[in-house]
Chains A and B, each alone.
Chain A
């Protein structure tokens, strides 16, 4: 469904992605894990068209995304839950959800989806008229996910949904991701929290300083000694002694 081939991108003269290749098949949950500065967010920004690709290709359902503007990419069915949630803080919860469906022209269906989203996340109904900025971090994350789902995406991309959330909220957010997976949603999940991400994902890639250093099924990555040491916090003693 989504295929990146030796993609290169960066800011100014600084290269961040030094040629990464990965793919996401329909119905799959794929995670991209890595530390700070590995290029995870840059990858999502480049796919979304917020950042120009220098070299390589991004193909989504036969469309070449490297030449398309962000607003066109969105209409193809890619939705992004940005890093740090980024809800529209001064707008109401309902308006935030409506904006998620901005590019859709099927007004009746949008209204139905809005109702459905409120049924699914009662919080979004209770706080319908509150400014989104008054919600807690975890609530904002749920709103950001709901907003992205309002686009009826064919591929949902999430940028560190666990960032800055209390552990209880992290498990709640991941519960939602598990439900989305069960419903057949295709997801590309970028995370630093490898433990949580590998639990929900089918496959994963490990990104380090702009290169993919490891790829495999989630189970393979969980069992990989290098991943365990670097991202899962296991085996410190053995390595250090």
Chain B
């Protein structure tokens, strides 16, 4: 039982990093991204590959995961973030699908069989194969993510991001370099997703493309929306709830998905702004500019 709870806590921690980073893009900068799992996957594969092939120690592997995912975020963000919401949604969705196919078809990623035997971290004389120790590692990463994002959104730059979310053109007229901010936040969020991927790969020790597909992107998005956009606490809560909910529903067997979906729908009807959020999901791309 304790082992099971430890496992769930570690998984929840990884999802917290993912949902908090996606919230930076959606909740604070007001941009749409439907391909967050792609960066999660890029981080997981990068970390696994450098550890398997070049025997990188874990901290170096995690750092490479963040860097490569961040650079991919930058490469995707630079040409696309000048696009408006609906186009951006399609481009990020497409990116997610493309990366899924890349993981599935490259030799180096092991194709559909994935990469087995990823080494468990072992550094500073601590063996992280013990779940209790791994939890500490995840907790440090979660703490780092939370402090970084909280400090960012409370800063002068956080104000600029929220101005962009409220009205991009007016933000520009205030002298805010909106394209630069959007690319920066996209890169940062991608890097953090890469960190989550690295933590996942070295915990499970086996990865395959299944974990990083569209459904994972949607799950992370659901965590952000359920918890509340533009609220870091909300993203944490959303990640924990949606990690635990399927486990709690295990008893219900065949009805699991029905109850899960029903609860989500009910929650969002009762509280469209999310549990801790202030703003509703931006669907303004469905309307014409007023």
On A, residues with C-beta under 8 Å from B are: 48, 50, 69-71, 74-75, 79-80, 82, 86, 88-91, 95, 98-100, 102-103, 147, 151
Additional A-B contacts beyond A86-B167, A89-B166, A90-B278 (7; CB < 8 A): A69-B177, A71-B172, A71-B175, A90-B279, A102-B160, A147-B174, A151-B175
Which residues of chain A are near B244, meaning CB under 8 Å? none
Main SS class of interface, B: helix
Residues on the A chain within 8 Å of B174, using CB: 74, 99-100, 102-103, 147, 151
A99 x B159 contact (CB < 8 A)? yes
Residues in A neighbouring B175, C-beta threshold 8 A? 70-71, 74-75, 102-103, 151
Residues of B within 8 A of A95 (CB): 159, 162
Contacts of B163 in A (CB 8 A): 88, 91, 99, 102
B169 an interface residue at 8 Å Cβ cutoff? yes
B283 within 8 Å of A by Cβ? Answer: no
A88 contacts B177, C-beta separation under 8 Å: no
Docked pose: A153 CA to B176 CA in angstroms: 16
Residues in A whose Cβ lies below 8 Å from that of B279 = 90
Instruction: Give the residues in chain A near B172, CB-CB below 8 Å.
Output: 50, 70-71
Q: Residues of A contacting B173 with CB < 8 Å?
A: 48, 50, 70, 74, 79-80, 82
Residues from chain B with Cβ under 8 Å of A102 in the complex: 159-160, 163, 174-176
Number of A-B contacts (CB under 8 A): 62
The docked-state distance in angstroms from the alpha carbon of A103 to that of B163 is 14
Rounded to whole angstroms, the CA-CA distance of A115 and B170 in the bound complex is 23
Q: Which of B167, B169, B173 has the most CB of A within 10 A?
A: B173
Q: B-side interface residues toward A, CB under 8 Å?
A: 159-160, 162-163, 165-167, 169-178, 278-279
Q: Which residues of A contact B159 (CB under 8 A)?
A: 91, 95, 98-99, 102
- Indicate the member of A99, A103, A147 with the most B CB atoms within 10 Å: A99
A90 — which chain B residues lie within 8 A by C-beta? Answer: 162, 165-166, 278-279
A69–B176 Cα distance when bound, in Å, is 11
- Considering the complex, give the chain B residue whose CB is closest to the CB of A70: B172
**How far apart sit A89 and B30, CA to CA, in the bound complex (Å)?**
14
Q: How far is the CB of A233 from chain B (nearest CB, A)?
A: 29
Given the complex, which residues of B lie within 8 Å of A69, measured CB to CB? 177
Report Cα–Cα, A170/B162, bound state, in Å.
30
Minimum CB distance partner of B279 in chain A: A90
Separation of A90 and B229 alpha carbons in the complex (Å): 13
The residue among B162, B166, B177 with the most chain A CB atoms within 10 A of its own CB is B166
User: Do the beta carbons of A82 and B170 come within 8 Å of each other?
Assistant: yes
Query: In the complex the two chains form, what is the Cα distance from A151 to B160 in whole Å?
Result: 15
Whether A88 contacts B160 by the Cβ 8 Å rule is no
Which residues does chain A contribute within 8 Å of B160, judged by CB atoms? 99, 102
- Smallest CB gap from B170: residue in A: A86
Inter-chain contacts of A79 with B (CB < 8 A): 173
A88 to chain B, nearest CB (A): 4
| Cβ contacts under 8 Å, B278 to chain A | 90
